[in-house]
Amino acid sequence: MLRGLQYRLCQGTDLKTRSFDPRKNGIAEAALVLSTGGLVAFPTETVYGLGADARNGQAVASVYAAKGRPAFNPLIVHVANLDLAKQFACFNTLALKLASAFWPGPLSLVLPLRDGHGLSELVTAGLDSVAIRIPQHPTAQALLEAFGGPLAAPSANPSGRISPTNASHVMADMNGKIDGVLDGGACTVGLESTILKVTDTDVSLLRAGGVPVESIEQALGQKLLVPSDPATPQSPGQLQSHYAPHARVRLDANTIEKNEVLLGYGPDCAAAALNLSKTGNLVEAAANLFSYLRRIDTIASDGNIPTIAISPIPKTGLGLAINDRLNRAAAPRG
Ligand code: TXA
Ligand code: MG
């Protein structure tokens, strides 16, 4: 059998992207492709990840190429369990407390790399830390078990665009660029993981995400450090423009103007083309966010409407992460 990577090189950009069905033999097929250096997108509870063997430099390089991702932006390493995580990163008391409270789940920890870790340098972009997480999605768990090693997996979208929350989003964006997609249906959380950097005494929030800050502070019994200047990228990947639809985005819209289509939130949005949550439920809004951004972008482009207006969304709980993503979607494009 041709190795996934050789296969990709032979095929140039015309790679045939397969769909793997986890209810049939898809987990084993996907694990085999990954173990031969191929790229397979897989579902997690947050968003679909674009998986590659984190120890295989060529496979990881193909992830950067398929996404068009800047090489300074490191990847999250996904593992099946804490024992495996400890092979790659050093866990102190704070890190263990967070792991036991939130893993498996939508939390990534940035921790010091462990000596002899064996990860490709490309995964960490040359940093002396690694971002690591144990996803909770049963299909991700089954894939990681079958693969038996660490999977580097950024969100499976072209760099700077909207993250995918179902397999058809991945196919729309990455068909022909990756070996396969493991189709596990829609992601339940719908926002990427919360990223925390852990030091001896402190925990800093690098990216708001699927675990709300309030829950983390409660579990830790201490406050998180948050970047005082939100414009300062704390993670190399926290670029100002990200999650960008094709149309322009106007936030905190209480009215809808001419040449706009409204993405609503809450009960008072009769004019909305789509509503993230009619009852004003942030968990529902998070789960809908990326797929509704894609749908409303299509509505805008089909109707030649230049701007998507978005209703105000509360900044508590998951609303912090939703507002973070929307601010980036609205930011001036580079
Ligand atoms: O929910 C998620 O986190 C998804 C799923 C697939 O797990 N993954 C994801 O990956 O969102 P990505 O590549 O789109 O975002 C990873 C973020 C980037 O902003 C990157 O800069 C940051 O993690 N990151 C990775 N390693 C880091 C490190 N050592 N130090 C600081 N930030 C790091
Ligand atoms: Mg991403």
41 falls within a domain: yes
pLDDT in tens, 217-267: 999 999 999 876 554 445 666 657 677 889 999 999 999 999 999 999 999
334 falls within a domain: no
Q: Which atom of ligand 1 is nearest to the CA of 127?
A: 29
Q: What's the CA angle centered on 82, arms 77 and 83, to 5 degrees? A: 105
Q: In angstroms, what is the span from residue 126 Cα to ligand 1's centroid?
A: 14
* End position of a domain, from candidates 220, 238, 265: 220
Tally DSSP H helices, then E strands, for the chain.
11, 14
- For residue 89, the enclosing domain spans 3-220
As a whole number, the mean pLDDT across the chain is: 92
Which residue has its alpha carbon closest to ligand 1 atom 21? 237
Ligand 1 pocket check for 234: Cβ under 6 Å: no
Q: Fill in the DSSP letter of residue 101.
A: H
121 falls within a domain: yes
Q: In angstroms, what is the span from residue 114 Cα to ligand 2's centroid?
A: 25
Ligand 1 pocket check for 157: Cβ under 6 Å: no
Output the pLDDT for position 3.
44
What is the pLDDT averaged over residues 282-288?
A: 96
227 falls within a domain: no
Q: Are residues 143 and 25 in the same domain?
A: yes
Q: Which of 108, 123, 203 has the most ligand 1 atoms within 8 A of CB, as the residue to mutate?
A: 108
Helix orientation angle between 213-220 and 93-102, rounded to the nearest 10 degrees:
130
Does pLDDT of 11 surpass 60? no
Output the pLDDT for position 2.
42
What is the pLDDT averaged over residues 68-74?
A: 88
Ligand 1 pocket check for 98: Cβ under 6 Å: no
Output the pLDDT for position 5.
47
Q: Are residues 140 and 264 in the same domain?
A: no
Q: Are residues 270 and 306 in the same domain?
A: yes
Q: Which string of DSSP letters, residue by residue, matches 208-239?
A: --SS-HHHHHHHHTSPPB--SSTTS-SSTT--
The total of structural domains in the chain comes to 2
Q: Are residues 202 and 294 in the same domain?
A: no
Q: Are residues 88 and 195 in the same domain?
A: yes
Whole-model pTM: value is 0.92
Output the pLDDT for position 231.
46
Ligand 1 pocket check for 75: Cβ under 6 Å: yes
Q: In angstroms, what is the span from residue 309 Cα to ligand 1's centroid?
A: 28
Taking residue 93's Cβ as centre, other Cβ atoms within 10 Å add up to 9
252 falls within a domain: yes
Give the number of C-alpha atoms closer than 13 A to the C-alpha of residue 279, restricted to the C-beta side: 4
Which bound ligand lies closest to the C-alpha atom of 140?
1
Q: Are residues 198 and 252 in the same domain?
A: no
Output the pLDDT for position 333.
72
**Best CA proximity match to 182, nearest among 5, 21, 8:** 21
Q: Are residues 116 and 33 in the same domain?
A: yes
Q: Are residues 79 and 201 in the same domain?
A: yes
Q: Which of 88, 109, 192 has the most ligand 1 atoms within 8 A of CB, as the residue to mutate?
A: 192
Ligand 1 pocket check for 153: Cβ under 6 Å: yes
Q: Are residues 7 and 96 in the same domain?
A: yes
Residue pair 140/50 in contact (Cβ under 8 Å)? The answer is: no
Q: Are residues 113 and 201 in the same domain?
A: yes
Weakest-pLDDT range from 22-36, 94-108, 121-135, 230-244: 230-244
pLDDT in tens, 84-107: 999 999 999 999 999 999 999 999
Q: Are residues 213 and 270 in the same domain?
A: no
Which bound ligand lies closest to the C-alpha atom of 49?
1
* End position of a domain, from candidates 202, 220, 238: 220
Q: Are residues 64 and 173 in the same domain?
A: yes
Alpha carbons 131 and 5: distance in angstroms, whole number:
25
For 61-213, strand residue ranges (E) read 76-78, 107-112, 129-133, 151-152, 180-182, 194-198, 203-207
